[in-house]
Structure 1
Amino acid sequence: MKAGTISRAAELLGVTQPGVSRAIAELEKSLGFLLFDRIRNRIVATPEAKLFYAQVQASFLGMDTLRATAARIRDHGAGQLRVGSLSALGSSLVPRAVRRFRDRRPDIAVTLMVLPSRDVRDGVASGAFDIGLAADEIDVSGVLHQPFVQPRVLCALPLGHPLSEKELIGPADLHDLPFVAYVPEDRARQRLDRIFAEAGVKPRIVVETIYAATVCALVAEGVGVGLVSPYAVAGADPTRLVLRPFEPEVQSRSLLILPLDRPKSQLVRDFIDCLMEAR
């Protein structure tokens, strides 16, 4: 197809002309259709041959891509990093880690997905993510896990809220106030519910959500007050929120999770270093 003639093909391949003719005949027999018509001592590719040749070219391009990928993995590692993160860290700590990582490995593309913790866990377990950050209420079977950060939560108040006059917020301050809460299965929500029950107070829950960023946005809109991780407020508008310490202490705990039975690549090790530095 490239050479145009059997004789030229034989020269390029370093074989005899009969050898090329036999190879063509064997391929035609194997395929079940003719590749060339013989017209006035010339060979002309059939329509079927042109279709088949297009697929052959695509296959060779695919092989070239595989060779290039192998070289990139050999020289630079896996070539891309897939990270899943819960919302509370996905707008602050993880972007800082990505910036550090990109400074050190500018040739590596990063995919960052901000998802509910259970979806992050499932993605890591299935191999869709190389590394994940999730809240501590996830099912940790099928993944490697270790504590990552457990910051003390803060009380988020709309700008101008009466409680913003106070330096410290306690359970009694939130009794019967409109409250933006996490969903009941959230561990921080469960710890907070116990604190409220022990204090004999009950905030008026007006919205439940799984996302820390949504809590901040709802508080900023004046829907209610909420308790959030300090990492979650990094992307919020500071001119619309007031943050105050909450007592007694409630921690928002997260885990660093990795696929089970898969050795950590050098890229994963490098990114974990960046995560630790960004805390």
Structure 2
Amino acid sequence: MNARQLEIFRAIMRDGSVTAAANSLAVSQPAVSKVLHHFESQLGYHLFERISGRLVPTMEAHLLYEDADRVFREIEALKNLARTIGERKVGLLRIGASAPVTYSILAGALLKFRAEHPQVKVHLHTLPKADVEEQLLIGEIDFALTLSMIQAPTVRSEILAPVPMMAVMRHDDPLASKTRITPHDLADRPLISYGSTTADIGPELDKAFEQSGLKRDVSIQLSSSLGAIPLVSGGLGIALVDGLMKWGNFEGLVARPFSPTVFMDVSISTNSARPVTRFFRPFLKSIKELLNDGEPAKSHPRNTPATE
């Protein structure tokens, strides 16, 4: 059994005769009859009987037709998809993102991107940074969006925007009346923050406290700023976390800038050892426009382009 035999069988069932099937397939009637006879010979049973000069499908033909018709509909859909992909109308974008990026800026960036590429399918993997890095290296995602650069031999990263650290507290906290929060303000308060070994940001925060003559004592250590929401709301302390999240949208919480200013970096990374999807650059344009309020993307002194 092959696809051509199924195609001719389906056409005869649909059109009602060998002649009509030959016309719809733009082939000769003898060619259709030959393929049909060979098909029946392979199956070992008849698919049609000639009664009063007409071809009448057998019971076996009716049983076979339903699946044959489904298979060819799927083949036609696949052909259309292949053609549409070739016309660059449809594609797939596989994004790996840390939770703060997903819950803050990703939706806006995707809205901009899909306005010009509405048929592109998106697979989103929201994972801790270490898992995002692993997915990027093994090729499960096309690019990564994280709050610090991924350091790996084949990974190329670009810093999209610096994000200042914020002190997040309950709205009724005495420190909520201040415009900025310093290490001295946090000295005697339970601190919810990143650990000292957290790449990039941990040492920078430790240094900010040391410059004020203090030691940063983390009461509850976080791997993602999203985890601070229930902890701060529950009265377990003040969180010193990234300002990427829109903290004012969470009921009962307020955020104040931390001084001295310490930055985390929204970064986008690709794996140079693997092909880059053609939709990467359009998405990159969209997220840069979002982060820069429609203005041309500003360069950052630590930028390393994500692609050549």
Give the TM-score, by structure 1 length: 0.79
Q: Which residue of 1 aligns with 2:45?
A: 34
Q: Give the 3 Å change call, closer, same or farther, for CA 78–122 of structure 1 in structure 2.
A: farther
Structure 1 residue 230: deviation in Å? 1.6
Structure 1 counterpart of 2:156, one-letter code: L
Identity of aligned residues (%): 23
Question: Aligned match of 1:145 in 151, 157, 161?
Answer: 157
What does 1:261-272 align with in structure 2 at a 5 Å threshold?
A: 261-265=274-278, 267-272=279-284
Q: Give the 3 Å change call, closer, same or farther, for CA 39–86 of structure 1 in structure 2.
A: same
Q: Which residue of 1 aligns with 2:300?
A: none
What does 1:99-178 align with in structure 2 at a 5 Å threshold?
A: 99-136=111-148, 138-178=150-190
Looking at structure 2, the residues matched to 194 and 4 of structure 1 have their Cα atoms a distance apart, in angstroms, of 83
Structure 1 counterpart of 2:146, one-letter code: A
Question: Aligned match of 1:4 in 16, 25, 31?
Answer: 16
| Matched position secondary structure for 2:275 | coil
Q: Which residue of 1 aligns with 2:295?
A: none
Question: Aligned match of 1:246 in 253, 259, 270?
Answer: 259
Any idea what the Cα deviations from partners look like across 1:194-226, whole Å, max 9, x if unmatched?
A: 555674434351x33333222244323422111
Q: Give the 3 Å change call, closer, same or farther, for CA 217–190 of structure 1 in structure 2.
A: farther
Structure 1 residue 176: deviation in Å? 4.5
Any idea what the Cα deviations from partners look like across 1:227-278, whole Å, max 9, x if unmatched?
A: 122212357327521313232x33213321124331441x321110111122
Structure 1 residue 78: deviation in Å? 3.8
| Matched position secondary structure for 1:201 | coil
Q: Give the 3 Å change call, closer, same or farther, for CA 135–36 of structure 1 in structure 2.
A: same
Is 2:69 aligned against 1:57?
Answer: yes
Q: Give the 3 Å change call, closer, same or farther, for CA 65–218 of structure 1 in structure 2.
A: same
| Matched position secondary structure for 2:14 | coil
Looking at structure 2, the residues matched to 57 and 128 of structure 1 have their Cα atoms a distance apart, in angstroms, of 35
Give the TM-score, by structure 2 length: 0.73
Looking at structure 2, the residues matched to 254 and 221 of structure 1 have their Cα atoms a distance apart, in angstroms, of 28
Q: Which residue of 2 aligns with 1:278?
A: 290
Looking at structure 1, the residues matched to 249 and 234 of structure 2 have their Cα atoms a distance apart, in angstroms, of 11
Is 2:93 aligned against 1:81?
Answer: yes
Q: Give the 3 Å change call, closer, same or farther, for CA 151–47 of structure 1 in structure 2.
A: same
Q: Give the 3 Å change call, closer, same or farther, for CA 222–256 of structure 1 in structure 2.
A: same
Q: Give the 3 Å change call, closer, same or farther, for CA 47–197 of structure 1 in structure 2.
A: farther
Aligned-residue Cα RMSD (Å) equals 3.2
What does 1:10-25 align with in structure 2 at a 5 Å threshold?
A: 10=22, 12-13=24-25, 14-17=27-30, 19-25=31-37
Structure 1 residue 126: deviation in Å? 4.0
Contact 1:92 1:235 in 2 (8 A): no
Unpaired runs of 5+ in structure 2? Answer: 1-12, 292-308
Structure 2 counterpart of 1:33, one-letter code: G
Structure 1 residue 16: deviation in Å? 3.5
Q: Give the 3 Å change call, closer, same or farther, for CA 29–190 of structure 1 in structure 2.
A: farther
Q: Give the 3 Å change call, closer, same or farther, for CA 95–148 of structure 1 in structure 2.
A: same
Looking at structure 2, the residues matched to 262 and 235 of structure 1 have their Cα atoms a distance apart, in angstroms, of 40
Q: Give the 3 Å change call, closer, same or farther, for CA 46–235 of structure 1 in structure 2.
A: farther
Structure 1 counterpart of 2:244, one-letter code: Y
What does 1:147-226 align with in structure 2 at a 5 Å threshold?
A: 147-182=159-194, 186-187=198-199, 188-193=201-206, 195-196=208-209, 199-205=213-219, 207-226=220-239
Q: Give the 3 Å change call, closer, same or farther, for CA 162–27 of structure 1 in structure 2.
A: same
Looking at structure 1, the residues matched to 206 and 60 of structure 2 have their Cα atoms a distance apart, in angstroms, of 72
Structure 1 counterpart of 2:38, one-letter code: E
Structure 1 counterpart of 2:109, one-letter code: A
| Matched position secondary structure for 1:133 | strand
Greater CA deviation, 34-43 or 128-137? 34-43
Unpaired runs of 5+ in structure 1? Answer: none
